[in-house]
Structure 1
Amino acid sequence: MSNALAFLVNTSIVLLTVAAMEGVAWAAHKYVMHGWGWGWHKSHHEPREGVFERNDLYAVVFAGIAILLIYFYRNGGPLLWVGVGMTVYGFLYFFVHDGITHQRWPFRYVPRNGYLKRLVQAHRLHHAVEGKEGCVSFGFIYAPPPAALKAKLKKLHGGSLKNSEAAE
């Protein structure tokens, strides 16, 4: 395979993996973290004490998978690039979710408009529900429109919710 074709194939694998990881993360968030894995994820829905929360173990698990793929396929092959794509997604997650949405950085940036604001609003609506049941917006890089999420929350819960005004 020529260098140019190899570059295109490998780049495509990385980009497809990043896109696929949003689906994997959505499903893991909805069915694992808000299901049988709530024991780790619950810490994310409570006030944080310290720098880390038990929920951060999920990032360690996904990073471990990516590290293993990169290590065992470091001599080439599609799974090397899947590991790279998972790593890129992990950086996006860290930047958007931990950094912008939850302000876990030493500096604050609050988006005032655009798509980053929509991500923050959607995640705040996710946190507007007490407990693991009846939440909305399980993705990290894709966020449905806040109006649609508010309508879904109203349908699920009827009245007002904690933090729902925070998504304004």
Structure 2
Amino acid sequence: MSIFAIIATVLASVIAMEFVAWGAHKYIMHGFGWNWHRDHHEPHDKMLEKNDLYGIVGAVMSISMFAIGSPMIMGNSAWEPGTWIGLGILFYGIIYTLIHDGLVHQRYFKYVPKRGYAKRLVQAHKLHHATIGKEGGVSFGFVFARDPAKLKAELKVQRETGKAVVRDSVGAV
């Protein structure tokens, strides 16, 4: 593969992982996988959460792609793009860890952004946590965040239609 193809594959994989993560968050974590994700939505003082098991799932995806791309493991049937897709998944995992666990939930460092996209990410994810239970909700992505005012409006509709139980502390919702 050319260096351009390698870079494009890695970048495309990072971007694609946001869509994979959005779908997994909305339909798995807030669906049949709620048992692992529930403690992430509940107050606790533990260093680790069951929800962290989803990080292991992401690591298995990345390692699997590295293996598919490795001639040492796959021999002549190795598929080189697998290596670069695996690297993209790894990069997404690092980005997720820094943004979601670090910036938004402050598990690794304390920093509250006052403006810009970082503030928007934090606000959007706090609105995601505004619902009680797995039903309803907004902002299932981790790196791309929609306008918090639009998310608040969606939560208001969900509360009014009974699609979700929304915490009172969300303010004007």
TM-score norm. by structure 2 comes to 0.88
Q: Which residue of structure 2 aligns with residue 93 of structure 1? A: 96
Q: CA 1:157 to 1:78, structure 2 compared with 1: closer, same or farther past 3 Å?
A: same
* Pick aligned residue for 1:56 from 46, 52, 56: 52
Contact 1:69 1:82 in 2 (8 A): yes
Q: Which amino acid aligns with 2:43?
A: P
Contact 2:130 2:166 in 1 (8 A): no
Q: Which residue of structure 2 aligns with residue 161 of structure 1? A: 167
* Pick aligned residue for 1:141 from 121, 143, 156: 143
Q: Which residue of structure 1 aligns with residue 33 of structure 2? A: 37
2:11 pairs with 1:15? yes
Question: RMSD across aligned C-alpha pairs, in angstroms?
Answer: 1.7
Determine the C-alpha separation between the residues in 2 that align with 1:143 and 1:93.
Answer: 13
Determine the C-alpha separation between the residues in 2 that align with 1:67 and 1:135.
Answer: 31
Q: Point out where structure 1 has 5 or more consecutive residues left out of the alignment.
A: none
Determine the C-alpha separation between the residues in 1 that align with 2:151 and 2:68.
Answer: 41
Task: Provide the identity percentage.
Answer: 50
Q: Which residue of structure 2 aligns with residue 25 of structure 1? A: 21
Contact 1:124 1:163 in 2 (8 A): no
Q: Which residue of structure 2 aligns with residue 78 of structure 1? A: 81
Contact 1:42 1:55 in 2 (8 A): yes
The structure 1 segments of at least 4 consecutive aligned residues displaced by more than 3 Å after TM superposition are none
Deviations 1:3-41 (A, max 9, x none): xxx111000000001111010000000000000000000
Q: Which residue of structure 2 aligns with residue 122 of structure 1? A: 124
Contact 1:125 1:163 in 2 (8 A): no
Query: How far 1:160 sits from its partner (Å)?
Result: 6.3
Q: Point out where structure 2 has 5 or more consecutive residues left out of the alignment.
A: 72-78
Counting matched residue pairs gives 161
TM-score norm. by structure 1 comes to 0.90
Determine the C-alpha separation between the residues in 2 that align with 1:131 and 1:163.
Answer: 15
What secondary structure does 2:37 align onto?
helix
Q: Which amino acid aligns with 2:153?
A: A
Q: Which amino acid aligns with 1:103?
A: Q
Larger deviation: 43-52 or 93-102? 43-52
Q: Which amino acid aligns with 2:67?
A: Y
Larger deviation: 148-157 or 67-76? 67-76
Query: How far 1:64 sits from its partner (Å)?
Result: 1.3
